[in-house]
């Protein structure tokens, strides 16, 4: 029908041109004859594309690729017949990605911050006036350096007094020991006299009065020994008390000098010269940064994947990357967040890492097999389950639930797909499971 219609159009066009040029005057100027000829050619081309190449013209207007021209009426009729024979073979065009599983380093990703491995606030333990020049924050100090020195006042005199009392108590010790020895001697003498009196009294050679006096003397000697022992214990207690007083006086003097407990940096100025400090007042803050901790909190669902000694790396907010090892995993969860604290020790010899910097932490864990796909390929089924739509062997759509492992800038890592899969990445939201598709395939590296 299209060929018959086109033949009729060409016949009408020929008649129009014949009549138009038959009326031309041969004496007209040549340019007057040329204009109608050009107009006729343009009209002919327009009619040709509107009728014969109508599909090509519409495809060009839509910006689509032109279809192959129909070479004959027989070819067109064969295509129509084929379409009528196979009406159920209409398929939806989609774009699928040939994806293969890769070894996925399923690192535990955390967000945390850096902390000094050691930090201490040094405070006064006694009251006095500062007599040392202050040190300014940022200064490097070594273990044992003087940070704050206080006025000793009368403390040296108190130490001398305690030492004198100790000497006196020690001098009284031999006297007490001699008294005890004397008391033991008197006791032995009294026991001997009592024994002799008892024997004489039994033979009728002494009076009862003498025997009673011997017994009284023996009891008095026993009391004397007890008293001498008490005096000796008192002397020993005096010595112990004097020793304690000396130790207290010395400790009080030691408290006058506040020393750096380890090598580090001053994080604050030391106490100002002439200022009065009381027990508990701040002297200085010292931090140690040659080794630094990166602290994060891991959720309870992943805490079993973190083991002591596992290698880890952290990226600081400045872009610097550092490496270390896991040195601590908490056994008790935070009651508010239900997360577990993890510490990573990192060497910091040049002190480039500061205390309190934000860090993204990646702790190495056992690897697994996963697919890396565009994030846009993820979709939901009618039950709201996260997954991917794939092209099955029979060229129909299937839905596979997946588990999101990691989200990166250039795609997402998912688990749950077979070793190889044709994942629909364009058109997945317009098809459902079981729908026949006509996929166009691309490789994962395209």
Same domain, residue pair 354 and 375: no
What is the pLDDT averaged over residues 293-298?
Answer: 94
Is there a domain that residue 262 lies in?
A: no
Same domain, residue pair 375 and 356: no
- The number of distinct structural domains making up the chain is 4
pLDDT tens digits, one per residue of 377-428: 999 988 889 999 999 999 999 999 998 887 888 889 898 899 899 999 998 8
Same domain, residue pair 351 and 385: no
Q: What pLDDT was estimated at residue 178?
A: 86
Q: Examine the pLDDT at 26 and tell me if it is beyond 70.
A: no
Same domain, residue pair 338 and 385: no
Q: Examine the pLDDT at 19 and tell me if it is beyond 60.
A: no
Same domain, residue pair 389 and 342: no
Q: Where are the beta strands (DSSP E) in 201-320?
A: 257-259, 264-266, 276-277, 282-299, 311-316
pLDDT tens digits, one per residue of 352-377: 999 999 999 999 877 678 899 999 99
| Averaged pLDDT score across all residues of the chain | 82
Same domain, residue pair 36 and 66: yes
Q: What pLDDT was estimated at residue 70?
A: 37
What is the pLDDT averaged over residues 189-207?
Answer: 79
Q: Examine the pLDDT at 189 and tell me if it is beyond 70.
A: yes
**Separation CA 361–CA 317 (nearest Å):** 11
Q: Which of 72-81, 154-163, 437-446 has the highest mean pLDDT?
A: 154-163
Q: Examine the pLDDT at 306 and tell me if it is beyond 70.
A: yes
Domain end among 235, 254, 273: 254
CATH number for the domain harbouring residue 299:
2.40.30.170
Is there a domain that residue 263 lies in?
A: no
Same domain, residue pair 392 and 357: no
Same domain, residue pair 289 and 224: no
Residue 30 has which token pair?
Answer: 């040549």
Domain end among 328, 363, 398: 363
Per-position b or e across 366-383, b if 16+ CB within 10 A of its CB: eeeebbbbeeebbeeeee
Is there a domain that residue 423 lies in?
A: yes
Is there a domain that residue 199 lies in?
A: yes
Is there a domain that residue 117 lies in?
A: no
Same domain, residue pair 377 and 348: no
Q: How confident is the model at residue 196 (pLDDT cuts 50, 70, 90)?
A: confident
Is there a domain that residue 260 lies in?
A: no
What is the pLDDT averaged over residues 132-146?
Answer: 93
Give pTM, 2 decimals: 0.52
Domain limits at 160? 155-254
Same domain, residue pair 331 and 358: yes
Do 323 and 294 meet the contact criterion of CB atoms below 8 Å apart?
A: no
What is the pLDDT averaged over residues 414-443?
Answer: 90
Same domain, residue pair 209 and 250: yes
Same domain, residue pair 309 and 347: yes
Burial class of residue 42, CB neighbours in 10 A (0-12, 13-18, 19+):
exposed
CATH number for the domain harbouring residue 418:
2.40.420.20
Is there a domain that residue 230 lies in?
A: yes
Q: What pLDDT was estimated at residue 175?
A: 85
Is there a domain that residue 430 lies in?
A: yes
Burial class of residue 69, CB neighbours in 10 A (0-12, 13-18, 19+):
exposed
What is the pLDDT averaged over residues 282-302?
Answer: 93
Q: What are phi and psi of 337, to 5 degrees?
A: -105, -10
Identify the sign of the CA torsion 150, 155, 156, 162: negative
């Amino acid at each position: 029908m299209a060929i018959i219609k086109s033949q009729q159009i060409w016949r009408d066009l020929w008649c129009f041109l014949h009549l138009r040029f038959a009326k031309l005057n041969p004496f007209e100027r040549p340019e007057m004859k040329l204009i109608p000829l050009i107009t006729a050619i343009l009209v002919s081309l327009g009619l040709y594309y509107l009728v014969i190449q109508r599909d090509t013209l519409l495809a060009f207007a839509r910006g689509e690729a032109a279809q192959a021209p129909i070479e004959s009426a027989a070819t067109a009729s064969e295509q129509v017949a084929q379409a009528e024979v196979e009406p159920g073979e209409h398929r939806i065009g989609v774009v699928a990605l040939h994806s293969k599983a890769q070894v996925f380093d399923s690192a535990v990703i955390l967000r945390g911050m850096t902390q000094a491995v050691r930090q201490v606030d040094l405070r006064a333990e006694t009251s006095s006036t500062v007599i040392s020049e202050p040190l300014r924050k940022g200064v490097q100090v070594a273990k044992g350096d003087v940070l704050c020195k206080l006025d000793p006042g009368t403390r040296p005199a108190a130490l001398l007094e305690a030492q004198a009392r100790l000497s006196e108590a020690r001098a009284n010790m031999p006297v007490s020991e001699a008294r005890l020895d004397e008391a033991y001697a008197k006791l032995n003498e009294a026991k001997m006299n009592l024994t002799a009196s008892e024997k004489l009294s039994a033979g009728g050679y002494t009076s009862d009065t003498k025997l009673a006096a011997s017994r009284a003397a023996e009891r008095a000697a026993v009391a004397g020994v007890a008293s001498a022992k008490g005096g000796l214990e008192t002397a020993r207690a005096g010595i112990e008390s004097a020793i304690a007083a000396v130790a207290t006086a010395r400790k009080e003097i030691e408290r006058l000098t506040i020393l750096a407990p380890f090598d580090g940096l001053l994080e604050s100025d030391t106490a100002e010269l002439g200022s009065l400090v009381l027990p508990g007042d701040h002297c200085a803050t010292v931090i140690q940064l040659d080794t630094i901790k990166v602290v994060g909190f891991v959720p309870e669902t992943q805490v079993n994947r973190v083991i002591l000694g596992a290698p880890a790396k952290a990226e600081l907010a400045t872009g610097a990357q550092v490496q270390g090892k896991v040195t601590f995993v908490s056994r008790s969860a935070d009651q508010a967040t239900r997360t577990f604290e993890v510490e990573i020790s990192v060497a910091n010899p040049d002190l480039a890492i500061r205390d309190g910097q934000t860090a993204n932490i990646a702790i190495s864990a056992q690897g697994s097999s996963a697919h890396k796909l565009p994030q846009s390929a993820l979709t939901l089924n009618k039950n709201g389950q996260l997954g991917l739509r794939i092209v099955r062997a029979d060229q129909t759509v299937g839905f596979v639930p997946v588990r999101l492992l990691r989200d990166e800038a250039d795609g997402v890592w998912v688990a749950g797909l077979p070793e190889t899969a044709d994942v629909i990445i364009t058109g997945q939201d317009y098809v459902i499971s079981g729908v026949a598709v006509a996929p166009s395939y691309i490789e994962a590296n395209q």
